[in-house]
């Protein structure tokens, strides 16, 4: 199968976005999280989590070979989720004469038993997911000269004099948050696969309005990490990813909340009022997400430290 899109951006910019797979969760709507397991500058091994075509979150390992001179990246999945038996393909970026680029995504796949209904189902999913991925890359690449204004990353941290297990326990038990966090009014949690949480939440904004958001959280208890991505984000955000990290040391625990967002430029005035610009939107997002994160961090600290005092 082949899918292509013309992009009004230099080929080098487009290739750079395709090559930077670790940031795909911020760039591509279907990508939830990517861990780079190995990379020697050319060959890389990635663990990928996606919510392709609205299905439940799935994961696999992908091997990729980067060729920046040819602007080509080949990939091959290891142990694809059923019914896919094998999956491989190629990303290619061709420079057009007018300064635009042609981005093409090729897939070759087989399904277990070669069943026609499975072939059709996988083909339909690839059509939808490839279109979404190419549209996401086109949208970002065509704003490449403004990405520094549209993309924002920041973090907040707190020190805890308590066991890291109790801090992680508070962050993991997200279903308890509506009774504890003032900005969470309701929450529905689904965890069909241990450690992969689908969350629908009602979140109260600073002006008192409540918005419904959806997100996926992937939990790594042994590493003290929970990564998350909004699959339905607040109106001002085109994309939002983040991570909770519990980092023990000799004297206590540092708990870090990280956020990365892509601003939805066309929504700035609608959300913040006439005349609002990207600088105001950046300050607003930093303030609101930071405030909610700091509240959560403080409650996680209280949870861990109060339990120690009781013991």
Please write the tens of the pLDDT for every residue from 81-138. Answer: 889 999 999 999 999 988 899 999 999 999 999 999 999 999 999 999 999 999 999 9
Closest CA to 298 of 220, 181, 184: 181
Predicted pLDDT at 55: 63
Predicted pLDDT at 52: 64
In angstroms, the CA 240 to CA 226 distance is 14
What is the Cα 40 distance to its own chain's centre? 24
Distances (CA, A) of 131 to 29, 51, 127: 10, 14, 6
Predicted pLDDT at 79: 84
∠ CA 148-96-24, rounded to 5°: 40
pTM strictly above 0.95: no
Predicted pLDDT at 309: 52
Kindly state the tokens that stand for 136.
């996401």
Predicted pLDDT at 311: 43
Predicted pLDDT at 56: 81
Q: Which ranges of the chain have pLDDT less than 50?
A: 310-311
């Amino acid at each position: 199968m082949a899918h292509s899109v013309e992009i009004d951006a230099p080929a080098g910019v487009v290739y750079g976005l395709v090559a930077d797979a670790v940031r795909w969760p911020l760039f591509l709507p279907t990508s939830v999280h990517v861990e780079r397991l190995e990379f020697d500058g050319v060959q890389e091994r990635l663990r990928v989590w996606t919510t392709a075509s609205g299905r439940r979150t799935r994961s696999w390992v992908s091997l990729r070979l980067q060729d920046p001179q040819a602007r080509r990246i080949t990939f091959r999945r290891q142990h694809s989720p059923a019914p896919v038996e094998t999956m491989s393909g190629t990303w290619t970026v061709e420079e057009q004469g007018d300064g635009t680029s042609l981005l093409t995504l090729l897939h070759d796949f087989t399904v277990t038993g070669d069943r026609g209904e499975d072939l059709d189902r996988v083909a339909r999913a690839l059509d939808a997911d490839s279109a979404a991925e190419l549209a996401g890359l086109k949208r970002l690449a065509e704003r490449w000269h403004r990405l520094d204004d549209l993309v924002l990353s920041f973090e907040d941290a707190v020190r805890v004099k308590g066991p890291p297990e109790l801090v992680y326990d508070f962050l993991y038990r997200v279903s308890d948050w509506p009774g504890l966090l003032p900005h969470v009014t309701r929450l529905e949690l689904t965890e069909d696969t241990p450690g992969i949480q689908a969350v629908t939440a009602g979140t109260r904004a600073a002006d008192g309005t409540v918005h419904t958001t959806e997100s996926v959280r992937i939990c790594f208890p042994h590493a003290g990490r929970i990564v998350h991505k909004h699959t339905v984000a607040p109106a001002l955000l085109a994309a939002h990813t983040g991570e909770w990290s519990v980092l023990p040391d000799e004297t206590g625990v540092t708990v870090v909340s990280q956020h990365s967002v892509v601003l939805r430029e066309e929504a700035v005035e609608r959300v913040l009022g006439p005349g609002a610009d990207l600088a105001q939107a950046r300050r607003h997002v930093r303030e609101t997400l930071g405030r909610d994160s700091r509240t959560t961090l403080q409650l996680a600290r209280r949870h861990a430290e109060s339990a120690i005092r009781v013991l």
